[in-house]
Amino acid sequence: MQQESKYSEEELISKLRSGGRAFEDISIYMFNEFKGFLPKIKEKLHLTQQQSQDAYADALVKLIRHLKDGRFRGDSKVSSYFYTIFYNTAVDVSRKNASNKNMQTQELMEHDAKERDLLNLITKKDEAAEVIKVMASMGDVCQRILMDWGYYGYSMTEIATRSDLSNAESARSMKYKCLKKLRALLKSKMYNA
């Protein structure tokens, strides 16, 4: 992918929604495109390099989600929208660090909107980590097929190529089996919890 090429906002959203290779390429393009915000936010919120990079990666994932699911309505430029997401994510990170320092003495009886978001984020991260663990236990092929299908949006033909399967029908059949397996694993995990 040519990093020099510029995409319009429409192209950007279109590529994200089309999924597959275009989705992966445009994600990396966006990663490089908005990196200029990093030093500004880092300095503004007095974050470490690691904290600002973590916040940046989180914010970019959120932006991609919003662009894909239509939550971004085009009221502002994508870059301005991203800046707001990045800033808020970075604030969460800095608050998390601040609260960690006083963890033993601070008891949150009531949560404001920001705190709720933060707690929700932590819960979702834990949940994702749990799912990843479960998916990893299914083996590489199942994990790859489910990810390619469920998140990256590759077509069944592309999935077949990427996973060395004979054709799209084989990929579809494999996906069905993997989904069934995942459902069962998650169910048993839920009952055992």
Give the footprint of another protein on this chain (CB under 8 A).
27-28, 31-32, 49-50, 53-54, 56-58, 60-61, 64-65, 124-125, 127-129, 131-132, 135, 146-147, 149-152, 176, 179, 182-183, 186-187
Closest residue by Cα to residue 168 from 186, 185, 182, 149: 149
Pick 53 or 88: Cβ nearer another protein: 53
Beta strands, E only, 55-169: none
Q: Give me the least distance between CB of 43 and another protein, in Å please.
A: 16
Alpha-carbon distance of 65 to 70, in angstroms, equals 8
Pick 98 or 136: Cβ nearer another protein: 136
Pick 22 or 186: Cβ nearer another protein: 186
3-state SS assignment for residue 26: helix
Pick 56 or 83: Cβ nearer another protein: 56
Task: Report angle CA 19, 34, 72 to the nearest 5 degrees.
Answer: 55
Q: Give me the least distance between CB of 80 and another protein, in Å please.
A: 20
Tokens of 89: 């994510």
Q: Give me the least distance between CB of 11 and another protein, in Å please.
A: 20
In the chain, % helix, strand, coil (3-state, to 5) comes to 75, 0, 25
Q: Give me the least distance between CB of 18 and another protein, in Å please.
A: 14
